[in-house]
């Protein structure tokens, strides 16, 4: 009696990995031009973006400014005896931190975004440039874009040596009317850029993406900034979409 040969079972090939969906298209609509830098939106979407450099803003750091130029930045960048715009003053004179403050002997440096649970003289009322990644916008753009202090954004160096550098950030200060491209010490550090307020920063290669109406108008912890920004960024299309929109223009030098 002959025996039937056992059937050989063909191994099934695993299914090919599915390709990620293509990023949503972007029809660029110019929102504004500030200091020669164009600000764009994708169609009717609220988020806006621009490509610039980054000047380092020390405002809000506990030791940002001090007597005899002793702070992280030159005291002249906070004003002078005729008008101080980056410091808390009392009868026209800068308030000096006392023994119970975080940095005794240094001035109290301010940001436009404030925590009202602390008094005006308390350095903790303001957003610390050393620990919080924040960006700066001129007031006219804030109005045109419909965003407010405390909104979130993504700041990136796309195509940087060693790979893309991306950071969550919060809108925490108002800058000069004709200047675009400014951020905190912590933001520059996150992007791998020289973070010195005196000699750091870069003139190009930084992309800013801002999400209007995403914040609550208050300072936030670093963890909250990262979590909230990640949700906004993912919903918008994430890094793949940002690269698709911005990187080709960076490579040809037209951004």
Indicate the pLDDT class of residue 22, thresholds 50, 70 and 90: confident
pLDDT at res. 14: 65
Banded model confidence at residue 7, pLDDT cuts 50, 70, 90: low
Q: What integer best gives the mean pLDDT of the chain?
A: 91
pTM of the model: 0.89
d(CA 79, CA 84): 4
Which of 10-24, 86-100, 151-165, 177-191 bottoms out in mean pLDDT, i.e. has the lowest? 10-24
Banded model confidence at residue 162, pLDDT cuts 50, 70, 90: confident
Report phi then psi at 228, rounded to 5: -65, -40
Q: Are 170 and 235 in contact (CB under 8 A)?
A: no
Q: Which residue, among 141, 144, 134, 204, has the nearest Cα to 177 in the 3D structure?
A: 141
Paired tokens of 192: 């791998």
Longest dimension (CA), the chain: 113
Q: Strand (E) positions, 109-194?
A: 134-138, 152-157, 165-175, 182-184
Q: Is residue 131 predicted with pLDDT exceeding 60?
A: yes
Share of the chain above pLDDT 70, in %: 89
Residues 197-249 have pLDDT tens digits of: 999 999 999 999 999 999 999 999 999 999 999 999 999 999 999 999 987 65
């Amino acid at each position: 009696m002959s025996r039937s040969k056992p059937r050989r079972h063909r191994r099934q090939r695993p299914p090919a990995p599915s390709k990620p969906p293509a990023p949503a298209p972007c029809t660029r609509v110019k929102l504004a031009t500030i200091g020669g830098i164009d600000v764009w939106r994708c169609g009717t979407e609220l988020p806006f973006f621009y490509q610039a450099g980054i000047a380092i803003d020390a405002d809000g750091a506990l030791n940002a400014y001090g007597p005899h130029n002793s702070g992280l930045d030159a005291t002249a960048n906070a004003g002078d005896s005729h008008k101080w715009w980056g410091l808390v003053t009392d009868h026209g004179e800068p308030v000096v931190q006392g023994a119970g403050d975080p940095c005794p002997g240094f001035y109290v440096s301010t940001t436009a975004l404030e925590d009202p649970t602390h008094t005006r003289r308390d350095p903790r009322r303001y957003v610390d440039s050393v620990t919080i990644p924040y960006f700066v916008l001129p007031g006219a753009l804030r109005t045109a874009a419909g965003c407010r202090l405390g909104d979130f954004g993504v700041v990136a160096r796309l195509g940087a040596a060693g790979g893309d550098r991306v950071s969550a950030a919060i809108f925490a200060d108002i800058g000069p009317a004709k200047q675009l491209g400014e951020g905190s010490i912590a933001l520059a550090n996150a992007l791998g850029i020289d973070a010195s307020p005196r000699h750091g920063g870069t003139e190009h290669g930084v992309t800013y993406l801002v999400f209007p109406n995403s914040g609550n108008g208050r300072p936030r912890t670093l963890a909250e900034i990262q979590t909230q920004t990640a949700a906004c960024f993912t919903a918008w299309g994430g890094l793949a979409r940002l690269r698709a929109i911005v990187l080709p223009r960076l490579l040809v030098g037209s951004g």
